[in-house]
Each structure stands twice: as C-alpha cells, then as structure tokens.
Amino acid sequence: MRKMLAANCGLIMTGSLLFNGSAWAADTPESADLEALVNDTIAPLMAEHRIPGMAIALSINGQQHYFNYGEADQEAGTPVTEETLFELGSISKIFTAALTGYAQSSGALSLSDPASQYLPALEGSAFDEISLLELGTYTAGELPLQFPEAVQNEEQMIDYYRQWQPASPPAAIGSTPTRA
C-alpha cells in the first residue's frame, strides 16, 4: 500500500512539475527559480505522505536538472542521489502499453505474434502458443506474477520460463484473468 501511495504521489508531483514547468518552456528558467519551484512542490508532498526519499529529474529545453531529497535507506542513513534506483512497480505498465501500442502501429510487432518470437531462448516452449496480447492481458494460463526466490539471474529466468506450463489453455480475451 505504501509503495502504491508513493508511486501515486510521484505521478502527482511529476505532473504538477510538468504543468507548472510548461510556463517555463519559452525561456530556460534560472537554476535558483527552478530549484525553488521544485522544492516548494516536493517538500510539502513528501512531508504529507511521509515519503522518506525521492529523486526528480527534469529536462527543460534539452537541459537536465536533478533534485534529490531524503534518504534511500533510512536505517543506514544513505541519501538519495542521481544514481539511486527506485522500484516503478505497476507504473511500468503504462510505459509498456504505450511502447507496445506504438510498436504495433508502426508495424514493428503484432499483438497476435507468439511471445517466443521476441525471445528466441523460449522457442520450443509453451511461449510458442502464447501471444503478446495474452501476456499483456494476463490471460496466458496463470503465468505467475512473481519469480520464485530461487530465480536469481537471467539464465535461471530463461530456464524457469522454458519449464513453465500453463495451468489451463490461455483464457479468451475479455475474460477475467486467473492468478496463481
């Protein structure tokens, strides 16, 4: 729940910066003015939602600006830096859907293509019969949402997927997906 709240807050903050920052598009803002705008937007939201750390990156007229707040690891007191990695969680679905839609509209792929066509290491597995659309809509026959703890690297991931079998035939598009 806390990760969802942080992710939603991140979207709200980013949106407010983008819309407030659009007034700056005609002219490149002074660094001090931009920093004040970001600080005035982020600090109250972090306090209100008890967000321990956050990184903001803006690109205005091709110029990059980075702002780091709080701690990446509260126990160790490690500050957030430009190199801190944050979990995107479900927000990544937005990017995946947008890029997939663009790829389909430009002819780079078809949602009816088998998944193994795009990951040849899975050829000869159940993924020969599972379409990209079925993967994207979670109707591929109860594909687990998380890897088992034992899967620790790419080779183990490929082995896991090669051995995986759908619990049932892929569900029809539009039906309620089942979860493992």
- In this prediction, residue 28 carries a pLDDT of 56
- In this prediction, residue 29 carries a pLDDT of 63
- In this prediction, residue 172 carries a pLDDT of 55
- In this prediction, residue 27 carries a pLDDT of 54
Task: Show the CA angle centred on residue 63, arms to residues 20 and 48, nearest 5°.
Answer: 40
Q: Is 168 a catalytic residue?
A: no
What's the pTM? Answer: 0.51
Domain coordinates of the chain in residue numbers?
2-87, 93-163
- In this prediction, residue 32 carries a pLDDT of 86
- In this prediction, residue 3 carries a pLDDT of 44
Q: Digits of tens for pLDDT over the chain (180 positions)? A: 344 444 444 444 444 444 444 444 445 568 889 999 999 999 999 999 999 999 998 999 999 999 999 999 999 999 999 889 888 778 888 888 999 999 999 999 999 999 999 999 999 999 999 999 998 888 888 888 788 889 999 999 999 999 999 876 555 555 555 544
DSSP string, 87-133: --GGGHHHHHHHHHHHHHHTTS--TTSBGGGT-GGGTTSGGGS-BHH
Give dist(CA 139, CA 130) in Å, integer: 9
Catalytic residue among 59, 90, 106, 168: 90
